[in-house]
């Protein structure tokens, strides 16, 4: 993992207010970007108890106030937990920590983790493997760029499979199953000259999933995910069934509950199902020196980079993306996250309109500094 540290991050609100637009992660080479100075909105002593020590109860009361006053078009639940076990939950409207939500891109982190778990538990399956070694019918032309695609490039969205067929985006035609759709991905991309760079699309994970299914000898993704659930005890009620159970979109086709997603993050951070080396590899920046071909975060001015199935929330212009904060927000505004430096994690659970992920980021940002103070406060 590159340059882990525990420095404070600039608030996302300051990014929005500054209207900073950056060209992906090539910040140090092509972009004149100066990180805003973070100004704490917490007054000295404001959240201290009678003994003069910080108080999680006072911080929680303030978070509740901020969340209650936040103008959101949909109900939501905000949850955070320290690795030491203390947690805070607050819900607006009918949302609860047990409400089932459609995942959108929050499933990318889960899918990548399941595939990495499969790598660790399957002999002869490695990050350097090519799709043609495991996927029947995947036969790229000899000497083509497509022939050089590897599992690690699929997990980092740098494989060059930048065309998503209709079976992956709309689920149409309805009679095509997972294998049919993977074949369509091949057909859509085989005659193209893959453009090198980071492309935040769905095809990469679908092919990576096909490799994992075949390498591990499972019938389909549902069987592989059920095996993962059985072996780890995670996501007992979650399912991949969007657009259909027979053709789930791994980059955005889950249904989950916030309680289960939070437990998954805890297990991920605790190395309960991935080795420390595999987890650290997941957090490494994979796109810093590559062109950004398609990225939703650069459209709103955030200089984040990408690992395996998750964002590295890079706080400043740098030759490397040193960060402590990782996330996988979805298009409906749900926002799972974890902080390595301060050892806490959480999730904002909501389901707004398609393309409202920035609304979820804004909610988390409203209590970001309070959450950080809560995470390091040792007094109840």
Each of the 380 residues of the chain gets a pLDDT tens digit; together they read 333 322 222 233 322 222 222 233 443 322 232 333 333 445 555 777 666 689 999 999 999 999 999 999 999 999 999 999 999 999 999 999 999 999 999 999 999 999 999 999 999 999 999 999 999 999 999 988 899 999 999 999 999 999 999 999 888 888 899 999 999 999 999 988 777 899 999 999 999 999 999 999 999 999 999 999 999 999 999 999 999 999 999 999 999 999 999 999 999 999 999 999 999 999 999 997 899 999 999 888 888 999 999 999 987 544 556 688 999 999 999 999 999 999 999 999 999 999 999 999 999 999 999 999 999 999 89
Rounded CA-CA distance 95/127 in Å is 39
Domain match, 334 and 268 both: yes
Rounded Cα gap, residues 321 and 155, in angstroms:
18
pLDDT of residue 20: 24
The residue count of the chain comes to 380
Question: Whole domain around residue 224: which residue ranges?
Answer: 107-232
Q: Which two tokens stand for residue 97?
A: 């920590």
| CATH number assigned to the domain comprising residue 134 | 3.40.710.10
In the prediction, which pLDDT does 170 show?
85
Please indicate, yes or no, whether residues 101 and 111 belong to a single structural domain of this protein.
Answer: no
Position 218 in a domain: yes
Token pair, residue 29, equals: 């080479």
**Angstrom distance (rounded) from CA 237 to CA 49:** 41
Confidence (pLDDT) at 299: 81
Whether 237 is covered by a domain: the verdict is no
For tokens 């300051």, the residue is 14
Number of domains in the chain: 2
The pLDDT value given to residue 209: 98
- Of 151, 210, 221, 220, the closest CA to residue 185 belongs to 210
Phi-psi region of 177 (alpha: psi -120 to 50; beta: other; left: phi over 0): beta
**348 domain residue, yes or no:** yes
Q: Which has the closest alpha carbon to 369: 42, 5, 15?
A: 42
First and final C-alpha spacing in the chain: 33
* Residue 45, pLDDT score: 59
Question: Distance (Å, rounded) from C-alpha 70 to C-alpha 97?
Answer: 18
Q: Tell me the backbone φ, ψ of residue 77, rounded to 5 degrees.
A: -125, 135
Do 281 and 170 share a domain, yes or no?
no
* Residue 113 shares a structural domain with residue 219: yes
Residues 30 and 128 in one domain: no
Are 347 and 258 within 8 A, CB to CB?
yes
Considering the domain architecture, whether residues 89 and 113 belong to the same structural domain is answered as no
Say whether both 260 and 228 belong to one domain: no
pLDDT in the model for residue 245: 95
Please indicate, yes or no, whether residues 68 and 33 belong to a single structural domain of this protein. yes
Say if residues 210 and 182 touch (Cβ distance below 8 Å).
Answer: yes
Q: Are residues 268 and 215 in the same domain?
A: no
Write out the E strands in 7-139. 76-82, 87-92, 100-102
CATH code, 357: 3.40.710
Q: Are strands 292-294 and 198-199 parallel, antiparallel or unpaired?
A: parallel
């Amino acid at each position: 993992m590159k340059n882990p540290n525990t420095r404070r991050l600039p608030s996302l609100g300051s990014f929005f207010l500054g209207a900073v637009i950056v060209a992906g992660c090539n910040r140090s080479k092509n972009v004149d970007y100066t990180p805003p100075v973070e100004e704490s909105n917490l007054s000295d002593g404001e959240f201290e108890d009678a003994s003069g020590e910080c108080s999680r109860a006072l911080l929680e009361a303030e978070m509740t106030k901020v969340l209650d006053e936040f103008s959101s078009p949909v109900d939501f639940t905000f949850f955070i937990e320290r690795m030491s076990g203390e947690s805070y939950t607050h819900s607006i409207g009918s949302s609860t920590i047990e409400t089932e939500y459609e995942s959108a891109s929050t499933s990318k982190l889960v899918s990548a983790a399941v595939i990495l778990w499969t790598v660790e538990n399957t002999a002869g399956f490695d990050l350097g493997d090519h799709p043609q070694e495991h996927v029947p019918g995947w036969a790229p032309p000899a000497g083509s760029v497509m022939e050089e695609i590897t599992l690690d490039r699929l997990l980092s969205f740098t494989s060059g499979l930048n065309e998503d067929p209709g079976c992956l985006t709309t689920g149409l035609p309805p009679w095509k199953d997972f294998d049919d759709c993977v074949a369509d991905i091949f057909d859509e991309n085989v005659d193209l000259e893959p453009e090198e760079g980071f492309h935040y699309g769905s095809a990469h994970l679908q092919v990576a999933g096909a490799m994992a299914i075949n390498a591990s000898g499972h019938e389909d993704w549902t069987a592989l995910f059920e095996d993962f659930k059985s072996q780890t005890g995670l996501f007992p009620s979650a399912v991949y069934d969007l657009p259909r159970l027979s053709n789930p979109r791994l980059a955005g086709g889950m249904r989950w509950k916030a309680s289960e997603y939070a437990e998954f993050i805890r297990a991920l951070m605790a190395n309960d199902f991935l080795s420390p080396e595999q987890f650290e590899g997941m957090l490494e920046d994979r796109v810093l020196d590559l062109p950004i071909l398609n990225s939703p975060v650069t459209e709103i001015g955030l200089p984040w980079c990408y690992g395996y199935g998750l964002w590295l929330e890079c706080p400043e212009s740098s030759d490397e993306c040193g960060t402590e904060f990782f996330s996988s927000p979805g298009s409906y505004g749900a926002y799972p996250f974890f902080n390595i430096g301060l050892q806490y994690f959480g999730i904002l659970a909501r389901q707004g309109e398609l393309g409202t992920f920035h609304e979820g980021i804004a909610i988390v940002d409203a209590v970001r500094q309070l959450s950080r103070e809560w995470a390091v406060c040792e007094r109840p």
